[in-house]
Amino acid sequence: MREAALVVTLRPWLGQLARQRRRLWGGAGLLALTLLAAVGLLALSGWFITASALTGMALAAGIAASLDVHVPGGGIRLFAVTRTLARYAERLYNHDTVLRLLADLRGRLFAVLAGLDARTLAWQRSSDWLNRLTADIDTLDGLYLRLLAPPLVSLAVIGLLAGFLALWVPTAGLAVGAGLAVAWLWLTAGQGWLGMAASRGQVAHRQRLRSLVVEHLQGLAELEAYGRTAHHRQRLRACEARLQRDQRRLALRAALGSALSGLAVGLAMLATLWLAAAAWQGGEIGGAVMVMLPLAVLALGEALSLLPAAFTHLGATCAAAERLNALAAADRQAAPPAAETLPDGALPVTLDGVTLHYPGALAPALDAVTLAIPAGARLALTGASGAGKSSVAALLTRQLAPSRGEIRLGGAALTDVAEPLLRERVALLGQRVDLFQGSLADNLRLAAPEADDARLWRAIDWVALTDWAAELPAGLATPVGEGGRQLSGGQARRLALARLWLRDPGLVILDEPFAGLDAATVARLAPRLDAWLAGRTALYLVHQLADARFAPPGISHHAHLVEGRVTVFAHCGAIGQDEG
């Protein structure tokens, strides 16, 4: 039952490996060639040394004897060179194959993450998602390099060695083949069973430790302020202790496997020596062959030594595969939208009885919200923090799906609008401005990849950043730093506004568009934003409209949210009364 579950867990990734089956077979062939060359080198060297000694003793005793040293000497050189070159080629070739597979897997999983909605993404921290894209996928690189190729090749070499021994001493071939097959079974299935729990626990504790470290560093100021630093450090130490405990257990189990591997090879060599000596005494084989056979068995230790550590950590590979399978399953649950078209120009928006309930939340974020925004209108949606304004934006951009109700955009059901068309026709400026570690031009071209430098400068001028940008030594090529850390909060906000200007959306959602800007800058930007929004539908998400200096321009409608419910919906002429 457990073996069936293991196969089901690893099946998607085995299928991924099958796409590179030619390269994988080539890598396995190089590994087999390396092991066979090692066996041949040690066996032939033992035969040659023994044959040379026996020939020398015969000549010293006055017995006529001869030995052709050229053929075995050439064979030894051939095996030595083949082993070296095959080992180098195998490492180079197999690691190149695995790196190709990891690149494909990362691209595939990143595409899955990009397609998940905000509700699914909220289940894990950003560091946990990053861990799945890096640590989990890196764990899977052992699926071929350590868990597939080495055991299959070593089993094949055991069979070939047993056949080789049987050519000279049939009983030795049978005994060694049976004994090493039993040892191979334990070093794979047995070691996997022995280390399953500890290796799974190691993965869980390592992921937890990473999350706690990120929390500790990000919240260090708050921990110091409230005197909880020591308590949080204790949690870190406890998690670290659990991780070290599992690491010690795995190390002991891997060491046991290595010892059993050496013991199995040693016993097989002694059994071969015993049976070969008996055959020599019976005159069935020569003395040089008697020495060659146990040395051939001894060389097999190189193949079996690869198995214990790899299969002791089998649980880590299974745990990584299970998490990645769950991630892929979450992506498959989202049905692809149909290619519904949208009209040109301003897009009307309708929310009809929309309810949004986050998993595990005590109350819905939105409760039976009904709104109608005519094409070209500008609705100010106000409310306190947590009232549900950002949830409305997430629904309209399809980052979230409503629990109940229907959303229509441009007369079409939002679920039926194709993803590329939705991203082209709906623009969002959220509370958080995301800038990437690139240049100013790179970050602006996220909105318009085909835009030339002249158009980028017009966008910068539109948000009143020309004077600042013109003084930069590299101009548009100036890097903004990781997360835009080289820019101030206001500059980053205006750069995000410039990205909106580069697009031609029919619906624009602006969450506190003037947050972090001073009154003088707002006075310059508001008329420009007002003119740009002409002929478009706009949704402003703001806390209140009390301060006219920071109020969004051209508001035609106003709605107020209280705990996820619309309590006010009116034309702009009634705003003062509504606020009261």
The overall pTM is greater than 0.75:
no
| Strand order, beta sheet including 507-511 | 426-429, 507-511, 537-542, 378-382, 557-562, 565-571
Least confident of 75-84, 104-113, 555-564: 104-113
* DSSP one-letter string for 143-171: HHHTTTHHHHHHHHHHHHHHHHHHHH-HH
Residue 238: the pLDDT is: 93
Q: How far apart are CA 539 and CA 557, in angstroms?
A: 9
Residue (of 154, 184, 142) closest to 31 by Cα position: 154
N residues, the chain: 580
Pairing of strands 412-413, 426-429: unpaired
Average pLDDT over residues 288-316: 91
Question: Cα-atom radius of gyration of the chain, to the nearest Å?
Answer: 35
Q: Per-residue confidence at 539, pLDDT binned at 50, 70, 90?
A: very high
Cα separation, 342 vs 549, in Å, equals 35
* pLDDT value at residue 122: 66
Kindly tell me the burial class for residue 36, based on how many C-beta atoms sit within 10 Å of its own C-beta (0-12, 13-18, 19 or more): buried
Mean pLDDT of 52-66: 84
Q: What is the pLDDT of residue 577?
A: 36
Contact predicate 56/298, CB 8 Å = no
C-alpha to C-alpha distance for 392 and 394, rounded to whole angstroms: 5
Domains and CATH numbers, the chain: 2-333 (1.20.1560.10), 349-579 (3.40.50.300)
Closest CA to 427 of 336, 529, 331: 529
CB-count exposure of residue 18 (10 Å: 0-12, 13-18, 19+) = exposed
* Angstrom distance (rounded) from CA 162 to CA 174: 7
**For residue 330, what pLDDT is reported?**
64
Reduced to 3 states (helix: H, G, I; strand: E, B; else coil), residue 544 is coil
pLDDT at 575 over 70: no
Mean pLDDT over residues 275-279, rounded?
A: 94
Amino acid at 166: A
Confidence of residue 1 (pLDDT cuts 50, 70, 90): very low
Tokens of 40: 């041949």
- pLDDT score at 334: 53
Show the tokens assigned to 177: 């083949």
Burial class (CB in 10 A: 0-12, 13-18, 19+), 7: exposed
Half-sphere exposure of 263 (CA within 13 A, CB side): 11
pLDDT in tens, 405-447: 999 998 888 888 888 888 889 999 888 888 888 888 998 998 8
Instruction: Indicate the pairing of strand 349-356 with strand 404-409.
Output: antiparallel
**Alpha carbon distances (Å) from 60 to 48, 56, 66, 286, 533:** 18, 6, 12, 19, 107
Q: Cα(528)–Cα(534) distance, rounded to whole angstroms?
A: 10
**Closest to 513 (Cα-Cα) out of 523, 502, 522:** 522
Whether 54 contacts 280, CB under 8 Å: no
Q: Over 70: is that where the pLDDT of 81 sits?
A: yes
| DSSP symbol at 552 | P
Residue 119 is predicted with a pLDDT of 66
Q: Which residue shows structure tokens 């080495």?
A: 150
Kindly indicate the confidence band of residue 35, based on its pLDDT and cuts at 50, 70 and 90. Answer: very high
Give the pLDDT of residue 45. Answer: 92
Residue burial 242-275, b: 16+ Cβ < 10 Å; e: rest: bbeebbebbeebbebbbebbeebbebbbebbbeb
Tokens of 427: 């623009």
More confident call, 23 vs 275: 275
71 CB burial (10 A radius; 0-12, 13-18, 19+):
exposed
Of the candidate ranges 251-265, 300-314, 332-346, the one whose mean pLDDT is the lowest:
332-346
Task: Please report the beta strands in 460-534, taking only residues with DSSP state E, as ranges in sequence order.
Answer: 507-511
State in Å, rounded, how far the first CA of the chain is from the last one. 67
> Which 8-state DSSP code applies to residue 541?
E
Tokens 């015969």 belong to 58
**pLDDT band for position 574 (cuts 50, 70, 90):** very low
d(CA 300, CA 266): 10
Residue 377 pLDDT more than 80? yes
Is the CB of residue 439 less than 8 Å from the CB of residue 391? no
Token digits of residue 235: 């949690």
pLDDT tens across 174-224, in order? 999 999 999 999 999 999 999 998 988 888 888 888 888 888 888 888 889
Q: Which two tokens stand for residue 349?
A: 């928006």
